[in-house]
Structure 1
Amino acid sequence: MPDPTEQPAVPIVVAAVCFRDQAGRVLAVRKRGTDRFMLPGGKLEPGESAAAAAVREVREEIGLEVTDVEPLGHWVAVAANEPGMRVESSVFTAELRGEPEAAAEIAELLWLDPAAVVRGEVDVPLAPLLRDHVLPALGHGPARRIAVVGIGADGWSGVGDPQQGLLKHADVLLGGTRHLELVPPVEGQLRRAWPAPLREGLLALLEEYADRSVVALASGDPLVSGIGTTLIDLLGRDAVELHPAVSSVALAGSRMGWPSESVAVATLVGRDPQSLLRFLAPGQRVLVLSSDATTPTVVAALLVGAGYGATRLTALGDLGAAHESRVTGLARSWSAEPSQSVSPLHVLALDLDGPVVGSWTAGLPDDTFEHDGQLTKRDLRASALARLMPQPGQLLWDVGAGAGSVGIEWALAHPTCRTVAVEQHPERAVRVARNAARLGVPGVRVVTGSAPEALAGLAKPDAIFVGGGATGAGVIDACRTALAPGGRLVVHGVTIETEAKLARLHVELGGELTRISVEHAEPIGTFTGWTPARAVTQWAWTA
């Protein structure tokens, strides 16, 4: 079964300009080696605003100088020329001054009559952004929307009359094989199961039926680890119409008698099971969206390995159906003798019972991490993370990652926090991945290479930590350039050379310059004395 929640590919961020002539026609361009017409525009350069990029692209592609642009809209659409990708585009309007001419990579110009496009009288392929978003925004044709209908284990009888009508009148019905079988046959209706891999195949599938009414089926609530999340990510929230049923999470909570505010929710559908380890805490309740009937056994083994063998597992199968099932046992027993009566379609409820194995704040003990001495120590790590300020959904570059401790603790701060760890030594890079998996954040991406070269092509960060290699040519400049306004940069240095560089940066750019010395009590013969660690200079700066 394809995973509807697999991690999204980074969108191509672009800017474009919509020009109209006195007759109301829209200027479109076709790039060399492609067949689709689109608005003039292109990708943003590092540190460039969308408006500035739009002005530059217009000058480069069609030779027009534009001074003032006005926002028309911001949309996500299927990429016209990059299979399996999507574009996130800021579109502007501008007054047409001068005669546009094809330049640079532009092979052809075309003036489109929007009304003729809507009537089907224009026989040229258009980019999805132009066809599905820009022309409707100009008042020509309806915006493209896809309806998503949630269906429970109780099947067709549990679907409301309005939603049944949507399903019956759809030209194309998409869904998992199990869901499609729950809907009575409709004469002339085309039914397609989800492609695999989902994201790449889904974009192509939606484009294939761009001129047909499409409805998708989802389990329960489409936004609970479901296809609705994927479609909104691919097409934008305005292009998706949601009709949720009761979610499996809500049903599981009610069966267990667990208030929603007392429960954490995790998904293992298509995910590394070790991601569950981040939730370990005494007394914590977790509802797990399972991958299949083997999930409880895999989870039980993980729990036993982490000292949580006393945890009670409850597999709640086929929730909402007349044949609901419930199987309960302790992790240590389940791991030794797996139950054979678990439904493949179930939610796994965990009542965790075990020791304190982590922390909900920054500063895990140093021995939590496997390392060779290249480790940002506990107190320094807490100080760095306090200044990096992890926020939900944000991305950290951990440059010169060493053991990966800063990037891992960033990822632990919130389930949606993301980390790219950059480490030039292959054995350390492998160690970072091991540490991340063992601590419950296997999604930490590890890039083996040296900065600044290894930073090229990475998704734009919200914060950057440089724990090593700050004196390398171009490293700090590349990091500063990569940050958007409000982005945070924290750099540590232990050498005189690095300290001198950070002092210069502080004078030139401001920020916060701190020298941190930590001493620990250790035996001195029969007495106890203070043993100082190497002092670290920390520079924190906000773009």
Structure 2
Amino acid sequence: MAEDPWLTIVGLGEDGADGLPPASHRALDRAEIVMGPPRHLALLPDIGARRIVWPVPFADGLPVLLGLRGRRVAVLASGDPFWFGAGRAIAAMLEPGEWRALPAPSAFSLAAARLGWGLETVRCLGLHAAPATRLRPHLAAGRRLIVLVRDGEAVAEICAWLAEVGFGPSVVHAMEALGGPRERVTTARADALRGDFAHPVCLGVEVAGDGPPLPRTGGIDDSFFDSDGQMTKRPVRALTLSALAPRPGERLWDIGGGSGSVAIEWLLADPAMHAVSIEARADRARRIRANADRLGVDRLCVVEGRAPAALEGLKPPDAVFIGGGLTRALLDDLAGRLAAGTRLVANAVTLEGEALLADAQARLGGDLLRIDLAQAAPLGSRRGWRASYPIVQWRGVV
């Protein structure tokens, strides 16, 4: 890295320049221009530099910053700019050597220090521009979360949502202006926390309640999904996800999404996962969207349309699942469209679909699996096995 880059990203605490390390003071003293949100600019003493307010939305400030290239510029950020901060977006558009970052203690570090929690045992989340449902995969009794929120009003919203989904007894620590003269910590149960809270605020949550936690294995209970019956059921879904073999950062195309259960579980496997669910029926597309939002994976992209036409313009996948709309034309299109190494899994329940998969395996290789399931059910005064339709699964690699 260059010794003297034109841009320095300076992390500030709520006490402003007080307590900053010498390198941060030097960067501010030498800056020709200081750019940042009004709250951060107000924390600085008069250092003689020209001040530019970072606009809202945040993305509008990036071209303004690029226009200052070559001047000596300091950008102000909260705490550690690379913990849910501005640092990543700024660094992504610059070359190595053009910038440096001088972080201050993050809100996560300050919150853990106030509560006596080991950061390595806590889930840290940023909900500045995200719904409370993003917390859903992390809610299990005994877990601890530190959550950055957009403003004081979000405190009540998140507490009300926790109560709604069965976690009202969770203990919530609302921490305002940590590290500054306005610091205040208010502690109460989520279903009893009241008061006015001022930005900046973060929450420490000790999860409690009888709400059902989301299992971490593939094949969560069908009851987590709203469905009209068009859904890959739990045992088959577990086998399907095993065949798809999700890996962090990968992208799935879920063709014939139904209720979205496979794509949603793909996303639940890791926060870095991506998925697109393609569904021809408008009512089912809406249901997929609602299921994803409720289960905390609102990042699921839902495309209303019929494959293969609906696939145009989508980013290439690492894996594809065909749960509905299986045709020879679709298989041929995917074989020509997908990059080498893309994993492809398809399930069929009809004789016609089974024939298509047998032909695909003969032409394209891969494995065929027949899944025969039966569940215990009343049989007169006793019990017997009630068989489901057998399912044939093809797993291949392009």
Q: TM-score, normalised by structure 2?
A: 0.93
CA distance in 1, matches of 2:171, 2:62: 41
Matched position secondary structure for 2:192: helix
| 1:151 maps to 2:151 | no
| 1:174 maps to 2:29 | no
Within 5 Å, give how 1:312-327 maps onto structure 2: 312-327=171-186
Distance 1:350 1:386, change over 3 A: same
Deviates more, 1:232-241 or 1:153-162: 232-241
Matched position secondary structure for 1:281: coil
Distance 1:391 1:174, change over 3 A: farther
Within 5 Å, give how 1:98-113 maps onto structure 2: none
Matched position secondary structure for 1:373: coil
Deviates more, 1:282-291 or 1:190-199: 190-199
* Cα shift at 1:326: 0.6
* Cα shift at 1:240: 4.2
Matched position secondary structure for 1:528: strand
Output the amino acid matched with 1:246. Answer: P
Cα-to-partner distance string for 1:34-61 (whole Å, 9 max, x where unaligned): xxxxxxxxxxxxxxxxxxxxxxxxxxxx
Which residue does the alignment assign to 1:434? 290
| 1:534 maps to 2:389 | yes
Matched position secondary structure for 1:157: coil
Matched position secondary structure for 1:156: coil
Matched position secondary structure for 1:158: coil
Output the amino acid matched with 1:190. Answer: R
Output the amino acid matched with 2:221. Answer: P
Within 5 Å, give how 1:211-360 maps onto structure 2: 211-235=70-94, 239-334=98-193, 338-340=194-196, 342-355=197-210, 356-360=212-216
CA distance in 2, matches of 1:152, 1:472: 60
Cα-to-partner distance string for 1:289-332 (whole Å, 9 max, x where unaligned): 11111122111111111111111000111111133211011112
Contact 2:37/2:55 (8 A) holds in 1: no
Select which of 328, 331, 344 maps to 1:476.
331
Cα-to-partner distance string for 1:468-502 (whole Å, 9 max, x where unaligned): 112162x3344445544443221111222222222
Distance 1:306 1:472, change over 3 A: farther
CA distance in 2, matches of 1:145, 1:497: 65
Contact 1:268/1:291 (8 A) holds in 2: yes
* Cα shift at 1:381: 0.8
Q: Which runs of 5+ in 2 are unaligned?
A: none
Cα-to-partner distance string for 1:102-144 (whole Å, 9 max, x where unaligned): xxxxxxxxxxxxxxxxxxxxxxxxxxxxxxxxxxxxxxx9998
Distance 1:171 1:477, change over 3 A: farther
Which residue does the alignment assign to 2:263? 407
Distance 1:344 1:533, change over 3 A: same
Contact 1:277/1:440 (8 A) holds in 2: yes
Which residue does the alignment assign to 1:191? 51
Cα-to-partner distance string for 1:69-110 (whole Å, 9 max, x where unaligned): xxxxxxxxxxxxxxxxxxxxxxxxxxxxxxxxxxxxxxxxxx
Contact 1:480/1:489 (8 A) holds in 2: no
Select which of 130, 153, 162 maps to 2:23.
162
CA distance in 2, matches of 1:233, 1:278: 29
Output the amino acid matched with 1:537. Answer: V
Which residue does the alignment assign to 2:234? 378
Distance 1:485 1:159, change over 3 A: farther
* Cα shift at 1:261: 1.9
* Cα shift at 1:235: 3.8
CA distance in 1, matches of 2:338, 2:61: 32
Select which of 202, 210, 220 maps to 2:69.
210
Which residue does the alignment assign to 2:252? 396
* Cα shift at 1:377: 0.7
CA distance in 2, matches of 1:297, 1:167: 37
Contact 1:387/1:490 (8 A) holds in 2: yes
CA distance in 2, matches of 1:227, 1:326: 26
Select which of 442, 449, 454 maps to 2:310.
454
Q: Which runs of 5+ in 1 are unaligned?
A: 1-140
Distance 1:172 1:497, change over 3 A: farther
Matched position secondary structure for 2:17: helix
Q: TM-score, normalised by structure 1?
A: 0.69
Contact 1:325/1:343 (8 A) holds in 2: no
Deviates more, 1:498-507 or 1:373-382: 498-507
Distance 1:241 1:542, change over 3 A: farther
Distance 1:237 1:424, change over 3 A: farther
* Cα shift at 1:236: 6.2
Matched position secondary structure for 2:384: strand
Select which of 352, 360, 363 maps to 1:505.
360
Output the amino acid matched with 1:146. Answer: L
Output the amino acid matched with 2:9. Answer: V
* Total equivalences in the alignment: 397
| 1:361 maps to 2:217 | yes
Distance 1:325 1:143, change over 3 A: closer
Deviates more, 1:300-309 or 1:174-183: 174-183
CA distance in 1, matches of 2:217, 2:224: 14
Distance 1:496 1:214, change over 3 A: farther
Q: How large is the Cα RMSD of the aligned pairs?
A: 2.3
Contact 1:512/1:539 (8 A) holds in 2: yes
* Cα shift at 1:385: 1.0
- Bigger Rg over Cα: 1
Deviates more, 1:202-211 or 1:530-539: 202-211
Output the amino acid matched with 2:370. Answer: R
Cα-to-partner distance string for 1:439-469 (whole Å, 9 max, x where unaligned): 1212212111111111111122222211111
CA distance in 2, matches of 1:465, 1:150: 44
Matched position secondary structure for 1:491: strand
* Cα shift at 1:390: 2.2
CA distance in 2, matches of 1:236, 1:277: 37
Contact 1:460/1:482 (8 A) holds in 2: no
* Cα shift at 1:222: 0.7
CA distance in 2, matches of 1:147, 1:534: 63
* Cα shift at 1:503: 1.7
